[in-house]
Chains A and B, each alone.
Chain A
Amino acid sequence: MKGFEFFEPTTLAEASRLFAQEHAQLLAGGTDLVIGMKALTETPQSVISLQKISGLAGVTTEADGSISVGAMTKVREIELSADIQKHHTALAEGAAEIGSIQIRNLATIGGNIAHASPAADTVAGLLVADAQVDIASADGERTVSIDELFTGPGQTVLTPGEIITRFRLPNPASGSHYIKHKIREVMDLAFIGVAAAVNLDNGTITDARIGLAAVAPTPIRATEAENLLRGNELTAELLEQAGEAAAAASSPISDLRCSAEHRKEMVDVLTRRTLQEAVARA
């Protein structure tokens, strides 16, 4: 690991000012950055830890019933949060899929998202929760919808100095589910991640949200499939149409872990499976 200057600011304004400088990196849980610095794929001249800034960690239920998750919240806490398990099951399941317990005790949801891997395990759950991402900088605050945050692999709309502070989850699902397509039980990257969330009224789907990870340059919503589902009951035929529509929305690549054809086929299969389970839970 190359040497660097280390900063532990106690305010967001100070952190933002430091982070806006060249060759600066933010340190949240460190599970990506520290490994990257060891591999010399990351060679920052300054590392700015966020851990001394108060108010960035924790899961809170707001007065209107919506849930707010601080960017520095450990993914292990998200996995075990009763409120998230109940209202955003897909997010809790995604958090539980990351690495090992030792890694989940370090890794933060803010880091998982800011790293902008299309295969991030918490991203599909955030997509189907319609998460609003609060961003702070020395200039003030703004909010971006999670489906507008990513611009490419490892790329986001965040500008120099901007720091993700919180994810607000306004849209609780009556049932949701996340499936990670993988080889190993733990310690694996997602070949594909699919989350589905539904709200039901007497068996009719009033709202459906489908999030796809690792099958396009950025995580995406399968909006065509969602539109097919809204206002209808989940029949075998509709399930098939939704699966096909989701697969059509994907644009996967072939890599050493699996082929584009397999990924596309499995988006269809996994969309059907997550939908069925989400409806069963609703």
Chain B
Amino acid sequence: MAKHPVSLKVNGDEYDLLVEPRKTLLAVLRDTIGLTGTKEGCSTGDCGACTVIVDGKAVTSCMVLGVTASEKQITTIEGLASDGELHPVQQAFINTGGYQCGFCTPGFIMASKALLDENPDRTEEEFRHALGGNICRCTGYTKILEAILNAAEEVRTSA
């Protein structure tokens, strides 16, 4: 099947690629570009491990065909830190120990980042509900939630 020219704009870098239509955005990011921070969990959109931000919106990249992501602005976990400074969500996960094996962490961080960009002024219950698309199989979510609430507090006070 014919490959399609795709211009992916990932973390501020541009990649001009020839992509097979059946490749998901997740596969292109990991296998073609080599950005393996984004994880493949269930591969059916249920676990959220593959969450990246496309044009400001958190999406499960395992459900997106790479050929449809051309010219869109994509942010992955590798693009969150700027000038050596971690994003407040990343720092909060470290401070609280919001992970065990770490496999779900990039997805949780990207989903949380998008939520904070949209509205950091959410209750604990609202954050829980909004992160329902991300699954962690190690923890009891307590430290993850604590990390997000701390990051939200920091974003609110620094705004």
Contact = CB atoms under 8 A, between A and B. Distances in A.
Contacts of B132: 100, 185-187
A30 interface: yes
Interface stretch (B16-24, B93-101, B138-146, B151-159): B16-24
Contacts of B24: 34
Contacts of A6: 1-2, 4, 21, 65, 67
Contacts of B35: none
Contacts of A197: none
B21 A5 contact: yes
A227 interface: no
B104 interface: no
A39 to B, nearest CB: 8
Contacts, number: 88
B46 interface: yes
10 contacts: A3-B20, A3-B21, A30-B65, A35-B63, A47-B65, A76-B57, A101-B111, A102-B45, A102-B58, A105-B59
Contact of A1 (B22, B57, B60, B114): B22
B63 A101 contact: no
Range, interface on chain B: 20 to 34
A106 interface: yes
Range, interface on chain A: 20 to 34
A3 B30 CA distance: 19
B51 interface: yes
B21 A106 contact: no
Interface of B: 1-2, 4, 20-22, 24, 43-46, 48, 51, 54, 57-60, 62-65, 67-68, 111, 114-115, 129-130, 132-134
Contacts of B45: 31, 35, 99-100, 102-103
Contacts of B54: 105
Contact of A103 (B2, B60, B67): B60
Interface string A19-36: 000000001001100110
A101 B48 CA distance: 10
Contact of A4 (B22, B68, B115): B22
